[in-house]
């Protein structure tokens, strides 16, 4: 840093340059089907444009963002452990880490009544991408409460080669359409949950439950709601034997399908739970299609689940078309 120039002054200068650049390009951006991204760098040691991820997001001018034609801003995050709550409230943001093991966003805090304060990542704006990052909530398990690592609460969000770490309610896939590829998701109780519509491709789900754990808890309150989780070519592992079910219904019309997944013996033989309400057995849609591995057997599955979907029944769950990905996913 040049002598006599403070870090805040340097950050303000970068923000001003970013604003001028974006404003000058806005007419061109609207006319182009392919938009060149603006690139910022976050480095906790001060070797980038900003020291924290949130500072970089806050510096993105609101004038460059709207719900239909957002300028693309790529934020490269250099390796380090970033202890902060990241709120993505600008559309068209991409967060890119060096790798999920070297670039970590961490926070420690319990669930609260607002359901929004204690997350390492909170996505509020559309067209978001994260790649090569870890999001974790390190609240100790003995505190016996939900500890959400990431809440995804906006349409069209994609995650590539990311990790989500906690023990209860790790990933809140809240609302909108979302895509996860090559991600590692770890927890014990209902650790993938929410009302969103999500496609998980080639992901690794790892249960740390000692007993009575659940990989998913999807919520769909009415048959007309569009949400549901599809897991395609994923791997399911855990620390115990028969210690976790595939899912239970957070809402009566919950919808979850596992297709072509490798299930270890961590998966309990019954597979699913009605969450102590037999009425859910008539409305929830829990399915399995051509899975394999020690925990994939359907002979002991609950009778009311769709344990052996036909190819036609499974077809809607077998590609990212489940979330209309062909219309909005960016090339990676």
Q: What is the largest CA-CA distance in the chain?
A: 73
Secondary structure (3-state) at 288: strand
Distance CA 19, CA 99 (A): 29
DSSP character at residue 330: P
The conformational region for residue 15 under phi > 0 = left, psi -120 to 50 = alpha, else beta, is: alpha
Distance CA 82, CA 43 (A): 9
In the sheet where 157-160 sits, what is the strand order?
Answer: 38-42, 73-77, 93-97, 128-131, 157-160, 177-181, 197-201, 228-232, 255-259, 285-289
- What is the secondary structure of 167-215 as a DSSP string? SBS-EEEEESEEEEES-EEEESBS-EEES-EEEEES-EEEE--SSSEEE
- The dihedrals phi and psi of 64, each to the nearest 5 degrees, come to -90, 5
Residue in 261, 205, 255 with CA at minimum distance from that of residue 232: 261
In the sheet where 163-165 sits, what is the strand order?
Answer: 80-83, 103-107, 134-137, 163-165, 184-187, 204-207, 235-238, 262-263
Distance CA 226, CA 177 (A): 10
Point out the catalytic residue in the list 43, 169, 190, 210.
Answer: 190
Asked if 88 contacts 94 with a C-beta cutoff of 8 angstroms, the reply is no
Distance CA 264, CA 26 (A): 51
Active site includes 210? no
Would you name the residues annotated as active-site residues?
190
């Amino acid at each position: 840093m040049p002598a006599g120039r403070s870090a805040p002054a340097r950050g303000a200068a970068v923000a001003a340059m970013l604003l001028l650049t974006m404003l000058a390009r806005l007419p061109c951006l609207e006319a182009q089907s392919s938009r060149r991204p603006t690139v910022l760098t976050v480095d906790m040691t001060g070797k980038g444009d900003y020291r924290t991820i949130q500072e970089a997001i806050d510096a993105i001018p609101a004038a460059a963002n709207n719900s239909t034609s957002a300028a693309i801003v790529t934020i490269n995050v250099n390796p380090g452990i970033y202890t902060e709550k990241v709120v993505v409230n600008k559309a068209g943001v991409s967060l890119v880490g060096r790798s999920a093991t070297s670039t970590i966003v961490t926070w420690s805090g319990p669930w609260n009544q607002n359901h929004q304060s204690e997350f390492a990542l909170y996505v509020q704006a559309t067209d978001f991408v994260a790649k090569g990052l870890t999001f974790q909530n390190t609240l100790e398990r003995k505190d016996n409460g939900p500890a959400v690592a990431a809440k995804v609460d906006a349409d069209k969000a994609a995650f590539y080669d990311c990790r989500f770490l906690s023990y209860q309610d790790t990933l809140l896939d809240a609302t909108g359409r979302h895509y996860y590829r090559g991600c590692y998701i770890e927890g014990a109780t209902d650790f993938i949950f929410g009302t969103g519509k999500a496609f998980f491709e080639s992901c690794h789900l790892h249960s740390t439950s000692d007993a009575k754990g659940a990989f998913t808890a999807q919520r769909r309150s009415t048959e007309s709601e569009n949400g549901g989780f599809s897991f395609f070519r994923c791997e399911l592992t855990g620390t115990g034997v028969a210690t976790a079910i595939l899912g239970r219904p957070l809402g009566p019309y919950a919808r979850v399908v596992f297709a072509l997944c490798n299930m270890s013996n961590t998966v309990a033989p019954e597979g699913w739970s009605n969450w102590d309400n037999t009425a859910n057995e008539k409305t929830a849609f829990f399915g399995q299609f051509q899975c394999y591995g020690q925990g994939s057997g359907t002979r002991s599955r609950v009778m009311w689940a769709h344990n052996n979907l036909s190819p036609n029944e499974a077809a809607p769950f077998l590609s990212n078309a489940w979330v209309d990905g062909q219309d909005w996913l960016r090339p990676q």
